[in-house]
Structure 1
Amino acid sequence: MKDRQDYYYWKAKKEGYRSRAAYKLKQINAKFEIIKKGYHVLDLGASPGGWSQVAVELGADVVAVDLNPMKPIEGVVFIKGDITKEETKEEIRKIRDKFDVVLCDASPKITGKWDLDHFLSMELAKAAFDIAKEFLKPGGNFVVKLFQGAELEEVVREFKKYFRFKKLHAPPASRKRSAEIYFIGKGFGGKFRPKRD
């Protein structure tokens, strides 16, 4: 398995992170200051919990959501649920109705068919964005993983309308061969009518 030779895989093992993905959020946060101490963070597609661990380290209170179970992390409230379902939103609402940050590092189940994987990734990202629109405080921040492909430009164009600062970014911890890229949105505009590009 190539990943066994992976620098970030071993670093995560050594430093007690649940996944190599923890370093992606560390790098994103160092560059863009997404999470600050005292923030309330909603981590979608959170299992096994690497991003939640980092958010707690940064001083945030975290609500984590995933279809898969997740071992407890101090400072994290976990909801087992599907981010595309209304009942999951209801469960989130019971804990908190507004967050400073919404994160989503979720990947679809990879089929190996490029177009299908890209499409499924876009659907997941749009589901995460629907939750962000509902739960982000005005001025809040949003980070979501996307797979590059035919629909990327259109989806990103829609996301961009809602944020003052917007950028696509591939952190150094992303694998070189990976098609993933992250949309970084800061300064969410709340309920305003999205402005035209």
Structure 2
Amino acid sequence: MAKPRRTQDRQDYYYWEAKKKGYRSRAAFKLLQMNKTFKLIKKGSKVLDLGASPGGWSQVAVELGAEVVAVDINPMPPIEGVTFIQGDITKEETLEKIKAVSREYDAVICDASPKITGHWSIDHLISMDLARAAFNIARQVLKPGGNFVVKMFQGEEIQKVFNEFKPYFRFKKLHSPPASRKRSAEIYFIGKRFKKIKTYYIVPPEEQE
């Protein structure tokens, strides 16, 4: 039988390290580790943190010297150096609020998770929808050359989503940082050096003069 989450936390190194260092979640160490490996956030970067609450990733981004805009459907206690937007990342109105703060960002990061149903296939598919929603925002606000990281749950759709994202980045990789729990099925898409791809509308024959 799997141990209850609270019991897992009490036995978890990163849980206690987060408390010791004042991070709001153990997930802070995932971003620290990925940033050390992939150099996603630099001093002076403008960072968009999607699915930010409770704020662990925003705290790390600020520590790295970034200016942060954080977005979550749930409230988040204030963090110095962070502009917070309460909104659903799947909604167009939230994208407009993000653009109202800044039209372009150097990095878009997303550690959003679905509400776990306990049905793996459902949780996996909802996770894919969240990842696509985050990418939809990133595609519209990332500066050319910008970086993107988003959490996904592994499953049958993972390669399909990876293939959807990869044409937009010169470097792309699926990665699991050491701070991810060993039993966790989460994995992160890392995209670096964003490139805009032009899309063309082909006029159907019936609409042509």
Q: How high is the TM-score relative to the length of structure 1?
A: 0.97
Residue 173 of structure 2 is aligned to residue 167 of structure 1: yes
In 2, the alpha carbon distance for the partners of 1:171 and 1:127 equals 22
Q: Structure 1 residue 3: deviation in Å?
A: 1.4
Partner of 2:97 in structure 1? Answer: 91
Partner of 1:145 in structure 2? Answer: 151
Q: Note the 1:51-70 alignment, pairs <5 A.
A: 51-70=57-76
Q: Structure 1 residue 117: deviation in Å?
A: 0.4
In 1, the alpha carbon distance for the partners of 2:32 and 2:26 equals 11
Residue 176 of structure 2 is aligned to residue 178 of structure 1: no
Partner deviation per Cα, 1:127-166 (whole Å, 9 max, x = no partner): 0000000010011000000100000000001111100000
Note if contact 1:125-1:144 (Cα within 8 Å) is conserved in structure 2.
yes
Residue 131 of structure 2 is aligned to residue 122 of structure 1: no
In 2, the alpha carbon distance for the partners of 1:76 and 1:99 equals 14
State the secondary structure of the residue aligned to 1:183: strand
Partner deviation per Cα, 1:50-77 (whole Å, 9 max, x = no partner): 0000000000000000011101001100
Residue 17 of structure 2 is aligned to residue 11 of structure 1: yes
| Structure 2 portions without partners, runs of 5+ | 1-6, 200-209
In 2, the alpha carbon distance for the partners of 1:192 and 1:26 equals 33
Larger Rg: 2
Tell me which amino acid in the other structure corresponds to 1:93: K
Partner of 1:36 in structure 2? Answer: 42
Q: Structure 1 residue 2: deviation in Å?
A: 1.5
Q: How high is the TM-score relative to the length of structure 2?
A: 0.91
Note if contact 1:139-1:190 (Cα within 8 Å) is conserved in structure 2.
no
In 2, the alpha carbon distance for the partners of 1:48 and 1:66 equals 9
Deviation >3 Å, runs of 4+: none
Query: Once the two structures are aligned, what percentage of the paired residues are identical?
Result: 72
Partner deviation per Cα, 1:92-148 (whole Å, 9 max, x = no partner): 111101000000000000011000000000000000000000010011000000100
Give the number of equivalent residue pairs.
193
In 1, the alpha carbon distance for the partners of 2:82 and 2:155 equals 34
Tell me which amino acid in the other structure corresponds to 2:16: W
Note if contact 2:90-2:133 (Cα within 8 Å) is conserved in structure 1.
yes
| Structure 1 portions without partners, runs of 5+ | none
